Amino acid sequence: MPGFYCLDNDIIFKLATYDLFNDTLQSLDIEKNHIYILDIFKYQCRKKIKRERGNKPNNIEKYDRKKALDITKNYQTISERNLIDFEQNIYTKLIDYSKLNQQGNNKIDKGEAILISYVCSLNQQENDNYLLTGDKRCLRALRNSGMTDIIERLQGRVWCLEQLILKNIEQFGFNLIQSKIYQKNNCDMNIKFIFGYSETASEDEVTELLKQEIIDLKKETRNLLYPYPDD
């Protein structure tokens, strides 16, 4: 797929931990030089890794942060200070909206606001550019914000975790993807439920639940998600 891809921290951690990061690039035909991540990712990740070194054995970290850091060490980065005027205007709108809705579920954090601003800016050009995110709360908040100018620039250009996993199953087969996810079943509790708690779920069960999650999120966010699987 042409264009550029902006990845939030959550999706990086989960794809890396599931050992699906490179598979995802292949399944979506993404070139590494077309990926952008947040500049703060590497700093936050290193601090967390340093703190984890003193953890007790039973305090299991759900993400493989070292793998995520190794994978992304040479990727292009974006930050608030790099935003041009158009992007800064969108970013300010998103942050101001979030500040007014801190008591509810309509919160968009700074990292997501930076990525959304950048994708919107890129989509003023010819190619479609995409946001890969694990933050469903952010997508719901954006949909509820009433900021139609921003929403329109993101319509059909967002991939969620369930879509990416389903795409990987289609590309590489269920057995391979299941084996990777099931051994890291503390990474995401919703995905853990889909793939099975005490025993592995069948391919039909998994694909049906993944598709239902996607359908539900599409209803909540309308046209933000990329149209996969086909409606």
pLDDT tens readout for residues 94-153? 999 988 876 667 789 999 999 999 999 999 876 799 999 999 999 999 999 999 999 999
* Residue 75 binned pLDDT confidence (cut-offs 50, 70, 90): very high
Report residue 27 as tokens. Answer: 């399944």
pLDDT at residue 104 in the model? 62
Distances (CA, A) of 122 to 3, 35, 49: 9, 13, 33
Strand ranges inside the chain, DSSP E: 5-7, 35-38, 76-78, 130-133, 158-160
Mean pLDDT for the chain overall = 91
Distances (CA, A) of 92 to 34, 89, 110, 193: 25, 5, 10, 37
The total of other beta-carbon atoms located within 10 Å of residue 84's CB is 10
pLDDT at residue 121 in the model? 94
Is 44's pLDDT higher than 70? yes
Largest CA distance in the chain: 52
pLDDT tens readout for residues 137-157? 999 999 999 999 999 999 999
Distances (CA, A) of 39 to 32, 36, 79, 194: 16, 9, 6, 32
Residue found by looking up tokens 């991939």 in the block: 159
The total of other beta-carbon atoms located within 10 Å of residue 124's CB is 9
Domains of the chain plus CATH, in order, are 5-162 (3.40.50.1010)
* Residue 59 binned pLDDT confidence (cut-offs 50, 70, 90): very low
| Residue 83 to residue 139: CA distance in whole angstroms | 21
Average pLDDT over residues 185-205: 91
pLDDT tens readout for residues 21-43? 999 999 999 999 999 999 999 98
> Mapping DSSP to helix (H, G, I), strand (E, B) and coil, where does residue 48 land?
helix
Q: Which of 12-16, 34-38, 54-58, 101-105 has the lowest mean pLDDT?
A: 54-58
